[in-house]
Amino acid sequence: MSNTITFTIDGVEVTGQPGQTIMEAADAAGIYIPRLCALEELSPHGSCRVCTVMVNGRPQAACTQPIADGMVVENDTEQILAIRRDIIDMLFVEGNHFCMFCEKSGNCELQALAYRFGIAAPRFPYLFPKRDIDATHPDIFIDRNRCILCGRCVRASRDIDGKNVFEFVGRGFEKRVAVNAEANLADTDAAATDEAVNVCPTGALLKKRVGYAVPVGQRKYDHKPIGSEIEKK
Amino acid sequence: MANDKTKRVIIEPVTRVEGHGKVSILLDEKNNVTQARLHIVEFRGFERFVQGRPYWEVPVLVQRLCGICPVSHHLCAAKAMDLIVGVDKLTPTAEKMRRLMHYGQTYQSHALHFFHLVSPDLLFGFDADPAIRNVIGVAAKFPDLAVQGVMMRKYGQEIIKATAGKKIHGTGAIPGGINKNLTIEERDGFLKDLDQQLEWCRAALKIAKDYTLEHLAELADFGSFDSNHLSIVREDGAMDLYDGNLRAIDAEGKKIFDQVDPRDYHTVLQEEVRSWSYMKFPFLQKLGPQKGWYRVGPLARINCCDFIDTPEAEAARKEFVEATGNKTCNVTMAYHWTRIIELLHAGEKIKELLHDADLQGTDLLAKGERRGEAAAILEAPRGTLIHHYKVNEDDQVTMANLIVSTTHNNEPMNQAVRKVAADHISGKAEITEGLLNHVEVAIRAYDPCLSCATHALGKMPLEVTLLNADGQVVDHKAT
């Protein structure tokens, strides 16, 4: 059995190792596939579907789909870009994302993706869901208005911090991230040093009192679009 | 009360002011004015939005009230949050960066008002053809002046960008300090253009002064009335737009109170709600709602302060005081002259700060012990601005009260509307657009920001007026 797998992304030949996902092989080849729930240090989750690609003509999540010899992957096509744009659009209207005063603005992956996709305003009607805030923890703040249910905090707490502080409850539109306690985050063993607090792609899970410490112009996505760190490899 | 023979004239929207408002004037069958009111038809709601939000978010959140002087709200909320995090004194770099931001915004806001909003009235006359009585008309006939206005506003906006991170709705001021200093490159960029800017300030001052003195006979009584005046002043009585204690004087200049700590504002000021406006009516508690209303803004600040601590603006202030016979000035149209004195003051302050090496300091943040409640005051371009917050142990805001400049000026603007309607409209056979513009001219003197100012949630009458071909009211409905 060969130690390398050869396949194509948008007609470009890419080689990878057996067991790699399409996203891992693409990252290594300097091809950016947008994502929100996927993170290198976390196990794949396949929930946000922003990384949707066409594999041999069928839509698949690039973060979970293993590569195979001769696979034909479409990433940067009109059809795929339109699907991703719709998903991002829907994420914005499904929550309450007020970028204009959010402290994650400039460092937010959802906002950065919207900029990358040229989304100036949502095309779907806002749902304005009623979401709650948990400010009970002395050092951590949960604002569920901004949660996109990516599950990064759930996985990081379980797999890296070894704590299981967060878990999903409810289904469909009622789904939300709950904390492992009778009432609030303050009743859990969560700490500001937990990796779970660092991995949130939006401003849903934040360290308290950091706020706007980084000035405009020095934030992560102020000058370069999201994905450019992969594309320059 | 309106009856069958009552005519209602509506000016809607009031133009060349920030936000949306309307004026209603009731006339009897002989065109005598029976009632004249300024209505504010926007609803603000920020006191409610902010509840539950973490306190460090507030300076960035509340500034979304406005796009003209958001820096005022940004800084006033930051000053309140300094107290919430237990910081009574900022580092020199933080204090001076914030002051530079504030003078930059005062500079751009005053320039915008004078050159773009007001100059058409002053240059073409109150009843000139509305087709030319606007900023485009100014640009066509006085292109140099229009360009100066744009360049001065730009200069102020660039200072805001360098201190707050963005020209509109930046993030610079954070609880306990600032998130950046001023680089040498930024400083040198501003210094390069400073002399030209100050030259334009002097020229604008000459226009405002000459206009006021040349037209004094007609302006002295135009929408004018005796009133109290309120502003913050420094401990030594100097004008200070960023920090100080409250001082109120009566129409003759007699002090009603002085050096009241911002935290005690509620012991000297009260607010009244009236059913026909979203805007509250504040008054001096000691004098009650009937006699306790007062003016804020440039005229009130010049009246309240003992001196200005920059030489050219102080000389201009002395000249102004001399022109008013060393008395407290109650002339509504004198707002324009005083506003330009402040424009020059802001320019001089910017110069002073740019030469201060503290702006390149790296000690940006101070720390202290958390508190649960704070109130802070600064002088926004349009007048005294008060922010008051309560924050719970979980760091969430539980109460917010904002009293903004235009709210303080609510009763004075209504007084001005009544006065101009009585003097210039009442009994006239034909009510022309030019005559109605007289009402707007009086409102514009206050440079109101209507979107910032609304708060009271009450019954707002919806009014429909049906006019026949001759402009006569044939039907009128009010809910």
B315 is a domain residue:
no
B288 is a domain residue:
no
Please tell me whether residues B107 and B215 are part of one structural domain. yes
Architecture of domain A5-76: Roll (3.10)
DSSP B328: -
Q: Where are the domains of chain A?
A: 5-76, 86-212
- Given an 8 Å threshold on Cβ–Cβ distance, is A141 in contact with B395? yes
The nearest alpha carbon in chain B to A136 belongs to B394
- Given an 8 Å threshold on Cβ–Cβ distance, is B174 in contact with A212? yes
Could you report the per-residue pLDDT of B223-282, keeping only the tens digit for each?
899 999 999 999 999 999 999 999 999 999 999 999 999 999 999 999 888 777 777 889
Please tell me whether residues B36 and B146 are part of one structural domain. no
Residue B315 burial (CB count, 10 A): 13
Count of alpha carbons within 13 Å of A87, Cβ hemisphere only?
21
User: If we measure between CA atoms, which residue out of A221, A222, A195 comes closest to residue A207?
Assistant: A195
User: Which residue has 């056979």 as its token pair?
Assistant: B429
Residues of chain B with pLDDT below 70 are 1-5, 13-20, 41-44, 450-479
User: What's the CA gap between B35 and B21, in Å, rounded?
Assistant: 17
CB-based contact, B244 to chain A, within 8 Å: no
User: If we measure between CA atoms, which residue out of B433, B452, B453 comes closest to residue B441?
Assistant: B433
Counted across chains A and B, CB pairs separated by less than 8 A come out at 48
What CATH number corresponds to the domain at position B129? 1.10.645.10
A122, A92 contact by CB (below 8 A): yes
Nearest chain A Cα distance for residue B335, angstroms? 34
A86-212 placed in CATH 3.30.70.20: yes
Instruction: Provide the residue-wise pLDDT of chain A in tens; the chain has 233 residues.
Output: 568 999 999 999 999 999 999 999 999 999 999 999 999 999 999 999 999 999 999 999 999 999 999 999 999 999 999 999 999 999 999 999 999 999 999 999 999 999 999 998 889 999 999 999 999 999 999 999 999 999 999 999 999 999 999 999 999 989 999 999 988 999 999 999 999 999 999 999 999 999 999 999 999 999 999 999 999 76
Which residue of A107, A216, A219 to mutate against B (max B Cβ within 10 Å)? Answer: A216
Q: Give the Å distances, CA to CA, from B264 to B245, B375, B377.
A: 10, 8, 11
Q: How much is the pLDDT for B3? A: 55
Please tell me whether residues B199 and B336 are part of one structural domain. yes
B439 is a domain residue:
yes
Please tell me whether residues B115 and B215 are part of one structural domain. yes
Strand A5-9 with A72-74, pairing: parallel
- CA angle (B38 as vertex; B471, B375 as ends), nearest 5: 165
Q: Residue A22: is it exposed, middle or buried by C-beta count within 10 angstroms (0-12/13-18/19+)?
A: buried
- CA angle (A170 as vertex; A168, A172 as ends), nearest 5: 105
User: What's the CA gap between B380 and B452, in Å, rounded?
Assistant: 12
Find the radius of gyration of the CA atoms of chain B: 22
User: What's the CA gap between B111 and B116, in Å, rounded?
Assistant: 8
CB-based contact, A215 to chain B, within 8 Å: yes
Which residue of A108, A145, A209 to mutate against B (max B Cβ within 10 Å)? Answer: A209
As a residue count, chain A comes to 233
User: If we measure between CA atoms, which residue out of B321, B411, B14, B350 comes closest to residue B162?
Assistant: B350
Alpha-helical (H) ranges within B165-281 are 184-214, 216-219, 265-268
B405 is a domain residue:
no
- Looking at the DSSP bridge assignments, the partners of residue B10 are B24
Please tell me whether residues B352 and B449 are part of one structural domain. no
Strand A205-207 with A176-179, pairing: unpaired
Q: Give the Å distances, CA to CA, from A13 to A10, A81, B313.
A: 9, 21, 71
B408 is a domain residue:
no
- For B1-40, b/e burial (b = at least 16 CB within 10 A) is eeeeeebbbbbeebebbbbebbbbbbbeeebebeebbbbb
Q: Which residues of A touch B170 (CB under 8 A)?
A: 216
B281 is a domain residue:
no
| Residues whose CB falls within 8 Å of the CB of residue B163, separated by 6 or more in sequence, listed in order | B97, B98, B100, B101, B104, B170, B172, B178, B180, B182
Could you report the per-residue pLDDT of B399-426, keeping only the tens digit for each?
999 988 888 988 898 888 888 888 888 8
Q: How much is the pLDDT for B274? A: 79
B299 is a domain residue:
no
Please tell me whether residues B19 and B142 are part of one structural domain. no
Q: How much is the pLDDT for B215? A: 93
Domains in chain B: how many in total? Answer: 2
Q: What is the dihedral of CA B304, B309, B311, B314, to 10 degrees?
A: 0
Strand B294-295 with B228-233, pairing: parallel
Residue B106, domain extent: 90-224+331-365
Nearest chain A Cα distance for residue B383, angstroms? 25
Could you report the per-residue pLDDT of B95-149, keeping only the tens digit for each?
999 999 999 999 999 999 999 888 888 888 888 888 888 888 888 899 999 999 9
Q: Give the Å distances, CA to CA, from B80 to A43, B123, B398.
A: 44, 41, 14
